[in-house]
Chains A and B, each alone.
Chain A
């Protein structure tokens, strides 16, 4: 394999692995802060136990998130040196700002939170966790501003073959990044509430600490329903942006080969990329694709065949990751709706089948989140910066395939080990319901 191919596999590996831990950090920090606030306000023991229980799981997850995040910070320089030279002027700024304004805050205050149980009042302790939650979302914002620039570059000028920042306002008010933040935050809350519901369900099935887990489940169900509904809005907004800014991604994720107006949406569709057409197109909803993409039933969708072959992303990858993500998104609404009904009618115990489903369903938002990133990043190909710099031109010139093979194997071994340890600790703490 070439340095480029290996570097792409490596970046996918380290980014996908890192993002297994990010959404739970974003969502569960706020949920734990909420639980502790309730404890501070009511003084009821059950909320203290709840805070401690979920924070133990949070801390295990956070640790792996932190250590795998460092890798990403340096990946650009190590494997994507040409990219770094080309964009550093623009892309480096949000990364540096993220560390300075957000990550310092998050890590310092989390250290404070863990070690200050006996030293500050309940209210102050809860407030510290709110700072952690705020800082983690602030951190996500700056990372998404950086990524948003790769998706929709703006506020720059090309000077001597390099992108130079000329308008910071354009960088930070990039609509793509803000919609992504909305989408990512809601995904994080969905994932975190399914995590809370799933682990609560497992413990309710075992008959452990019923009061605490019923209450936890109820918090999860409520937040989960709100967040999964809002994702549909976020998804709609994201889809319109893709249509506007990245027509090749739109055509690939919808497997739209020909340019048509009043395009229908096929509920059942199977692309055949080699033949450059679809093998199956069935159950059409008339005008729906035009309506979804441009909010106009007659809008024209430009097909893949009208783009040069060397500007098309992989249809198979983008199409399936998009379809499965969306299908899962609707499933989350359905499950969260049932969860809210059962939780508030207090009939969870009578519906053990549902608890069983929820104990497995906690995996699904992880799948959906990762597929969302696969779609976002693979759909942008062959560009690393959309329309501006090709991925093939971005890779480091001074590293060898052997270097990258060594590092890739190293990452797989270390991350595999981390995954095993993380799973072991999460399972251990999930079962440990008493102090």
Chain B
């Protein structure tokens, strides 16, 4: 019982950390073509995510693996019910990864321009479909006790699309802040201007999302029964708001950190509301996949909890050190040409 609750929390944390980290890769990927003018700036923008994107993506692999190990029924259902969306996510991530790695491996203008666009488009489609998928999960999927009643096109409903737009907006701001923090010169200036503007967009969409959530989902039920939980969405909003004053005072790292916290807390808001469901059924509550009816046995949960307790902190430490290692602003001669 407590292990299942613990794993529900860890499951949420893994996804949230994944979005917090790969989110700025997606954002920077989407914005790069529009913010970086000229070959030098495009190289800088690539070097801002080059050393870290792969390590960030491993959080997705870990989230997937942890879902498999701790909640096999959820793993089996989530990816087979959402087969075509998952396929689009995979294709996007494949193209995104090779775009970053291959873009500078040949000199031709056509080659580079092709990969620039491949990166921009795949960095958009990945969060779009991830947002669509999670939006629909927040609403509940049409799961009956004897099977799945859903289809691909019905995922494109209002709330699913709104969640997709929220993900994209959050990551755009996140990526703009990251580019501003990591780079220098005209690229940083343009990123800064865009981040300032995006703050209004993000706040508007987030407000809309929080209101729509009350109508489209049962997420607030848990909050109404335990009002103290409202602290989480309030903190999410507080951090979203805090991005602005920090940014205005040129505390770029602070603004980026606030954006990190906001992304994690927005997802935490949704996951807390879902509990104990991981995938609620929209047509039959008895068919919902919960932390209690879809988990592994106690032995596996305990084992994986021990593994996570030992290794996740170690991963966080060396990834943090790697980020610190790359904290110097990118400019000419700082290694971006190595890529």
Contacts and interface: CB of A to CB of B under 8 A. Distances in A.
A168 B303 contact: yes
B274 to A, nearest CB: 19
B83 interface: yes
Contacts of B86: 74, 77-78
A392 interface: no
Contact of B80 (A60, A396, A425, A429): A396
A17 to B, nearest CB: 11
Interface in A387-435: 396-399, 403, 406-407, 410, 414, 418, 421, 425, 428-429
B91 A414 contact: yes
Interface stretch (A114-122, A327-335, A343-351): A114-122
B55 A104 contact: yes
B186 interface: no
A100 B62 contact: yes
Residue among B68, B75, B81 with the highest chain A CB neighbour number at 10 A: B68
Contacts of B148: 398
Contacts of A398: 80-81, 83, 147-148
A231 interface: no
A247 to B, nearest CB: 30
Contact of A96 (B66, B95, B318): B66
B101 A89 contact: no
Helix, strand, loop or mixed for chain B's interface? helix
A400 to B, nearest CB: 9
A273 interface: no
A111 B296 contact: no
Contacts of A99: 58, 61-62, 64-65
Interface stretch (B166-174, B196-204, B209-217, B319-327): B319-327
A34 B58 CA distance: 27
Interface in B239-295: none
A96 B84 contact: no
A78 B79 contact: yes
B119 to A, nearest CB: 13
A319 interface: no
Contacts of A397: 80, 147
A302 to B, nearest CB: 34
B68 A96 contact: yes
A88 B101 contact: no
Interface stretch (A37-45, A79-87, A354-362, A369-377): A79-87
B84 A406 contact: yes
Secondary structure class of chain A's binding surface, majority of residues? helix
Interface stretch (B27-35, B157-165, B308-316): B308-316
B91 A111 contact: no
A90 B301 CA distance: 11
B185 interface: no
A165 interface: yes
A421 B72 contact: no
A76 B68 contact: yes
A1 interface: no
A114 B312 CA distance: 24
Nearest to B69: A92
B93 interface: yes
Nearest to A424: B106
Given A110-B54, A403-B84, A117 B72 contact: no
A174 B81 CA distance: 33
B299 interface: yes
Interface stretch (A64-72, A191-199, A255-263, A275-283): A64-72
A85 B94 contact: no
Nearest to A82: B76
A287 B55 CA distance: 53
Contacts, number: 221
B80 A115 contact: no
A410 B89 CA distance: 12
A363 interface: no
A85 B50 contact: no
A234 to B, nearest CB: 28
Given A78-B86, A85-B72, A114 B299 contact: no
Given A77-B75, A88-B73, A107 B93 contact: no
Nearest to B54: A107
B325 A112 contact: yes
B69 A115 contact: no
A100 B312 CA distance: 7
Contacts of A101: 307, 311
Contacts of B297: 89, 159, 164-165
Contacts of B134: none
Contacts of B229: none
B226 interface: no
A116 B322 CA distance: 11
Contacts of A89: 69, 72, 296-297, 300
A96 B69 CA distance: 7
Q: Which of A90, A91, A103, A108 counts the most chain B CB atoms within 10 A?
A: A108
Interface in A98-140: 98-101, 103-105, 107-108, 110-112, 114-119
B106 A425 contact: yes
A166 B319 CA distance: 33
B90 interface: yes
A78 B87 contact: yes
Contacts of B72: 84-85, 87-89, 92, 162
A249 to B, nearest CB: 26
Contact of B76 (A59, A84, A116): A84
Nearest to B82: A78
A95 B311 contact: no
Interface centre among A76, A78, A399 (most CB of B within 10 A): A78
Contact of B322 (A79, A98, A112): A112
5 contacts: A92-B70, A96-B304, A99-B64, A396-B83, A414-B94
Given A88-B76, A101-B311, A108-B58, 9 more contacts: A66-B54, A77-B75, A81-B76, A82-B76, A84-B76, A95-B65, A96-B307, A165-B299, A425-B105
Interface of B: 47, 50-52, 54-55, 57-58, 60-62, 64-73, 75-81, 83-84, 86-87, 90-91, 93-95, 97-98, 101-102, 105-106, 147-148, 296-297, 299-300, 303-304, 307-308, 311-312, 315, 318-319, 322, 325-326, 335, 338-339
Interface of A: 59-60, 63-64, 66-71, 73-74, 76-79, 81-82, 84-85, 87-93, 95-101, 103-105, 107-108, 110-112, 114-119, 159, 162, 164-166, 168, 396-399, 403, 406-407, 410, 414, 418, 421, 425, 428-429
